[in-house]
Amino acid sequence: MAQEKSYKYVIVGGGVAGGYAAMEFNNQGVKPGELAIISKESVPPFERPELTKAYINPETNPTLATIYVPSATGGEKQYAKWYKDRGIDLHVSTEIVKADLASKTLVSDDGTIFKYQTLLIATGSTFIKLSEIGIQEADIKNIYYLREVEDLDDIAGAMEFYIQNGKSVVIGGGFLGIELSASLRANNHEVTMVFPEPWLLHQLFTPEIASFYEGYYANKGIKIIKGTVATGFSSNSNGDVSEVKLDDGTTLEADMVVVAIGGKPVTSFFKGQLEEEKGGIKTDGFLKTSNPDVYALGDVATFPMKMYGGMRRVEHADNARKSAVQAVKAIKAAEEGKSIPEYDYLPYFYSRFFKLSWEFYGDNVGESVLFGDNDPKSPKPKFGTYWVKDGKVVGVFLEGGTPEENKAIAKIAREQPSVESLDVLSKEGLSFATKL
């Protein structure tokens, strides 16, 4: 007979959103036995972005425990004991395979039935495989994807095995591709990046911003091949990858390949039970779905973007953290007959690699204005970009900013001040943000 467990609150997903939701439930005084987290991962919730930023950095060499939630924002790290001491049931290595929202029932891969009163979906995203875009890998070894700790451990193992003049090909020019390429190069690999877009991080960067990072990477010995795609692979007699075939007929030698071509929200077992929009689960400003007892957090949620109007889905850890806190506050407020403000999220993206660190706030729409020193050979490059729409600054990017300067650009993106002209803005540069 199947085992059955009942909880007042169940969080499905043990990533950033799940960990921060548990933290906020604890802050709100959840009682022992009321809350459970069900995670298919084998470890407690951790700061996933740190996998590529720090976990395989040869200079810091941190342990997994150093990046447990909420290490990115400060506060007491949530080790397994943290959950146990608070009476929060943490079910790791447990995957939900069926959800019946009408009966408030979840079924895990081992047949356990979980009953809930309120459900929080924090399943995040998973990687897109090459086979999904028509590129067959068959059974070739040393082709890697990154999502979970075990994935990165596999990459790190291969990285160490091929430490002497290892040849790595990174497929993808987005966040993961950029950060993984830096990690591989820092570990003495020959690295080639391949992506179809005309420049790095095409969805966020302008060509001028991208040209700096492409030049910087070239100076570090990373080769970038733009505007092309991988079409297949060759392997050696051991079944290990040996070459990457490109659509122009050329081939690249490879001891290992890391694929980072994007992600997709994990929502399959809720299909047909919740309203969806723009690839995610549709929510209101409290992260509540079309089912009043179900909330969606982080990558899976398509929510009202109050600042700009319309619905958006944001794949980033910052939104995962903040939407989780918002949802739990909304749940507890509703139980007490109170109300809280609707979610008012300011889009925020950041990255760190080599000795570089950038932050972006707002919306990258309208005309762009570059300022500062964006010479890739500069010993301390510091530059940025404003985006101006309808005479107002709506987005700001800054490389090499101090904490105070990064706060200043966040404030600018939030307040959207008017500007006299693009020329004036270009001459003022960073001082436009810091003086306000």
Within a domain: 350? no
Q: What is the pLDDT of residue 163?
A: 64
Residues 209 and 224 in one domain: yes
| The pLDDT value given to residue 1 | 63
pLDDT for position 158: 82
Number of domains in the chain: 3
Q: Does residue 386 sit in helix, strand or coil?
A: strand
Tokens of 350: 């950041």
Residue 346 in any domain: the answer is: no
Instruction: Tell me the pTM.
Output: 0.94
- At 208, which amino acid appears? E
Let me know if residue 344 belongs to a domain.
Answer: no
Same domain? 183 vs 299 = no
Q: Give yes or no: residues 64 and 9 share one domain.
A: yes
- Spell out the alpha helix ranges (H) of 220-358: 317-335
* 363 shares its domain with 314: no
Q: What is the pLDDT of residue 136?
A: 83
Whether 343 is covered by a domain: the verdict is no
What CATH number is given to the structural domain containing 423?
A: 3.30.390.30
- Decide: 79 and 65 in contact? Cβ < 8 Å: yes
pLDDT by residue for the chain (436 residues), tens only, comes to 679 999 999 999 999 999 999 999 999 999 999 999 999 999 999 998 887 776 666 565 567 778 899 998 998 999 999 999 999 999 999 999 999 999 999 999 999 999 999 999 999 999 999 989 888 887 799 999 987 778 877 887 887 787 667 999 999 999 999 999 998 998 889 999 999 999 999 999 999 999 999 999 999 999 999 999 999 999 999 999 999 999 999 999 999 999 999 999 999 999 999 999 999 999 999 999 999 999 999 999 999 999 999 999 999 999 999 999 999 999 999 999 999 999 999 999 999 999 999 999 999 999 999 999 999 999 999 999 999 999 999 999 999 999 999 999 999 999 999 999 999 999 999 999 999 7
- CA dist., res. 79 & res. 84, Å (int): 9
Q: Of 207, 240, 261, which residue constitutes the final position of a domain?
A: 261
Question: CA-based angle 217:354:410, to the nearest 5?
Answer: 100
Angle among Cα 416, 419, 420 to the nearest 5 degrees reads 165
Whether residue 389 sits in one domain with residue 291: no
In the chain, count of helices (H) and strands (E)? 10, 26
Domain residues for the domain of 385 are 355-434
Residues 387 and 421 in one domain: yes
The pLDDT of residue 55 is 61
Q: Determine, yes or no, domain membership for 148.
A: yes
Asked if residue 54 is part of any domain, the answer here is: yes
> Do 214 and 323 belong together in one domain?
no
Which pLDDT does position 66 carry in this prediction? 80
Q: What residues does 224 pair with on adjacent strands?
A: 193
Among the candidates 216, 237, 261, a domain finishes at: 261
Same domain membership, residue 275 and residue 248:
no
Question: Does residue 341 form part of some domain?
Answer: no
The predicted pLDDT at position 242 comes to 96
> What CATH number has the domain bearing residue 318?
3.50.50.60
Same domain, 290 and 387: no
Please tell me whether residues 293 and 304 are part of one structural domain: yes
In a domain, 349, yes or no: no
Contact between 327 and 120 (Cβ < 8 Å)? yes
Burial tier of 392 (Cβ tally within 10 Å: 0-12, 13-18, 19+): middle
Structural domain ending residue among the three candidates 233, 261, 289:
261
User: Are 255 and 376 in the same domain?
Assistant: no
Letter string b/e over residues 141-160, b meaning 16 or more CB atoms within 10 A of that residue's CB? ebbbbbbbbeebebbeebbe
On whether both 244 and 269 belong to a single domain, the answer is no
